[in-house]
Amino acid sequence: MNEHTPSFQRPFDDALKGLGTDPIPAGVYYDPDWYRLEVEAIFRRTWLNVGHVCELPEPGSFFRCELEFANASLIVARGRDGAIRAFHNVCTHRGTQLVGAARGKAATFSCPYHRWTFGNDGQLLSAPDFERFYIDDKASCNLAEASVDVCAGLIFVNLDRRPRQCLREFLGPMGEMIETLPVSRASAWDEYVYEIDANWKVTFDNFQENYHLRFIHKRTNGAPPLETTENPYNYPMGFELFGPHRMNTSPGGSVLDDPPKPLLLQLLGRMAAQFAEEGLTGGAHDRDYFIFFPNLYVFGNPSMHFTHAVLPLSAERSRGVFRFYWNGEPSGARAHLARELALAFAREIHTEDGDVLMKGQKGIGSGALDHFHFQSQEVMCRHLYHSVDRMVRDYLSEKGGAR
């Protein structure tokens, strides 16, 4: 950042100086070989958010999680002891997947092939003719576990059998901050899932900068008129870096270029107040936008209270999962309308991004560019690039290779 940095952001310059200003190589956003390195170096051994404790309200509750980048299917379940565990959805007899349902409640999981049956704590309970196997230790046939832990109600898994850091160490100070957000108290959720022909970083970067708001979201989330503020383009009020993670502070609300109908305007005006009545307030961090490496956003704004995870599917395709969290059932018609409006408004904003992201991927993937440029308002994108690059190169060093 430099003398062109807006005055309200200058106190944060020192934290960002180490990122430099060099052009960014384009190949890492489409090259299949680099993508495979990202999967091995990052996604197979990093803590990833897969859900929330409100999805497992009682012993026996479970949900299935597909992580295609690793060809992995997980069962995340709450056992009779109340503990949350994550198991590979793989029978230890001959590898058949145990569970096809997306979620449910079950005391046991039985393989459809030969009826090996496991408890929701992963233990092998029974197997027909087990005495005919050459197995001395029955416990060796328990379901294979993935590492799992919880922060602010959010469930994280790690496919690495021996994670280099526990979850709290990995999340760092931002993990403590999100404990104050409404998500930590949520008891209900809504979600929508999308898939897009764009590299996961291309998709993720779109939500890390406000530079595009006045062009892509002019109607729904554009900038206030120039004469009303020193921040006419709705840029973040500042940035902070925490290891591979980052956060920014959002400005206040914006004025819509095309004002909605009176009823919609009235509902928009009441949304925050309604959520506050329901206890959905973010406190000191309700304008902070938390970005956890490698692929998770957490936003504490009580009127648009969500997480958003972006998962890689291939070098040029990704999946996003938006989750909106609530505290209990809506108390009445106004509360229900406020929630539906929050969902519709967020989805409308996101829909506006889709076409330009796919066009961007086509352009990058054509090979026409050797590199491209990030400006100061795209500093979060630059930080993600550096974090990914560092982790991949560390992985190659561990393996004794080079790139």
Residues 154 and 204 in one domain: no
Residues 184 and 296 in one domain: yes
Task: Determine, yes or no, domain membership for 322.
Answer: yes
Residues 105 and 198 in one domain: no
Nearest to 322 by CA among 203, 169, 171, 224: 203
Residues 340 and 325 in one domain: yes
Separation between Cα atoms, residue 38 and residue 391, nearest integer Å: 8
Query: For position 34, which CATH number holds?
Result: 3.90.380.10
* 8 Å CB contact between 298 and 318: no
pLDDT (tens digit per residue) in 321-336:
999 988 878 778 877 8
Q: Which are the contacts of 239, defined by CB distance < 8 A and separation ≥ 6?
A: 9, 12, 15, 16, 246, 247, 248, 379, 380
Count of CA atoms in the C-beta half-sphere (13 A) of 353: 24
**Domain end call among 137, 162, 187:** 162
Residues 40 and 63 in one domain: no
What's the whole-number mean pLDDT along residues 100-111?
97
* 8 Å CB contact between 125 and 117: yes
pLDDT higher than 70, residue 255: no
**Domain end call among 142, 162, 182:** 162
191-205, 233-247, 367-381: range with lowest mean pLDDT = 233-247
Task: Determine, yes or no, domain membership for 168.
Answer: no
Query: For position 79, which CATH number holds?
Result: 2.102.10.10
Residues 119 and 235 in one domain: no
The DSSP secondary structure of 48-114, one letter per residue, reads: EEEEEGGG--STTEEEEEEEGGGTEEEEEEE-TTS-EEEEES--TTT------SSEEE-SEEE-TTT
pLDDT (tens digit per residue) in 355-375:
999 999 999 999 999 999 998
pLDDT (tens digit per residue) in 26-46:
999 999 999 999 999 999 999
Residues 157 and 185 in one domain: no
Nearest to 344 by CA among 190, 233, 202: 190
**Domain end call among 127, 162, 197:** 162
180-184, 257-261, 345-349, 399-403: range with lowest mean pLDDT = 257-261
Give me the residue label for tokens 């409006």.
341
Residues 205 and 298 in one domain: yes
Going by pLDDT thresholds of 50, 70 and 90, the confidence category of residue 223 is very low
Residues 150 and 298 in one domain: no
pTM of the model as a whole: 0.91
Task: Tell me the residue range of the domain where 16 lies.
Answer: 1-45+173-403
Check residue 347 and give its pLDDT: 84
Residues 115 and 233 in one domain: no
Check residue 234 and give its pLDDT: 78
Task: Determine, yes or no, domain membership for 167.
Answer: no
Task: Determine, yes or no, domain membership for 342.
Answer: yes
Residues 232 and 362 in one domain: yes
Residues 339 and 378 in one domain: yes
Separation between Cα atoms, residue 379 and residue 374, nearest integer Å: 7
Task: Determine, yes or no, domain membership for 147.
Answer: yes
Task: Determine, yes or no, domain membership for 75.
Answer: yes
Provide the CA 277 distance to its chain's centre, in angstroms: 27
Check residue 257 and give its pLDDT: 45
* Total residues found in the chain within this entry: 403
* 8 Å CB contact between 335 and 188: no
The tally of domains found in the chain comes to: 2
